[in-house]
Amino acid sequence: TTGARPHAVVELLHTRCPVRVHVHTGLDGAPFLQRWLEIRNEDTKPVGISAADTWSGIMAEGDAFPEPDSLSTPYSLGWFAGNNWAREGRFVWEPLTSSVTRHLTMRGPYGTSGYQCPFFLLRRDRPPEQYFVFSLAWSGPWQARVLSDAGLYQVLQVRMGLEGPAPLRVLAPGEMAVVPALHIGAVAG
């Protein structure tokens, strides 16, 4: 759509299982976009959702990696490392090592995310300085995977979404579920 708040929808249809996914991406004029999924069971039988990543994509590539085939990358991961009571505000920066996938997964008691906030930052440590901000609108268990590869692929790749044992949810015939929104921002300087 067009207007003050652009909104795009991509429709995906599974080839073997009759499941239809609408990938919604919206903008509000700020440097953030909002992404959420609508998953509909179009079968006559119940269907289980085993995974739901709201975002899976490449954030930077090629020229963003000035030293190919290095073990170091120009990116660092910033996140709240504490998941215990009174430690939830302990924010740390960790450099990303090339070709090593960094997993963030938070599972607290009783199906919650514990004291952990579903939020992290990616920072480009070399000029031009740049930040990517990720925040999932969800209070339950969540996960994120970050790969910074300065070698063969030269990409910064991120996946983030819900976490839990499969199935995350079982959809009745014709039922639709909405996966919580992920807010993603790109900020320079």
Place 139 in a pLDDT band, splitting at 50, 70 and 90. Answer: confident
The Cα 105–Cα 71 span in angstroms is 24
The Cα 90–Cα 75 span in angstroms is 20
125: nearest Cα among 99, 95, 92: 95
23-69 pLDDT, tens digit per residue, is 999 997 888 999 999 999 999 999 999 989 999 999 998 888 877 76
The mean predicted confidence, pLDDT, of the chain is 87
The Cα 27–Cα 146 span in angstroms is 24
Place 110 in a pLDDT band, splitting at 50, 70 and 90. Answer: low
Tokens of 103: 């997993």
29-42 pLDDT, tens digit per residue, is 888 999 999 999 99
**What is the SS3 string spanning the chain?**
CCCCCCEEEEEEECCCCCEEEEEEEEECCCCEEEEEEEEEECCCCCEEECCCEEEEEEEEEHHHCCCCCCCEEEEEEEEECCCCCCCCCCEEEEEEECCEEEEEEECCHHHCCCCCCCEEEEEECCCCCEEEEEEECCCCCEEEEEEEECCCCCEEEEEEEECCCCCCEEECCCCEEEEEEEEEEEEEC
- With beta carbons less than 8 A apart as the criterion, state whether 43 and 25 touch: no
- Position 20 pLDDT exceeds 70: yes
- Position 153 pLDDT exceeds 70: yes
pTM for this prediction:
0.88
Between CA 89 and CA 130, with CA 73 as vertex, the angle to 5 degrees is 60
The Cα 52–Cα 159 span in angstroms is 10
The Cα 35–Cα 39 span in angstroms is 13
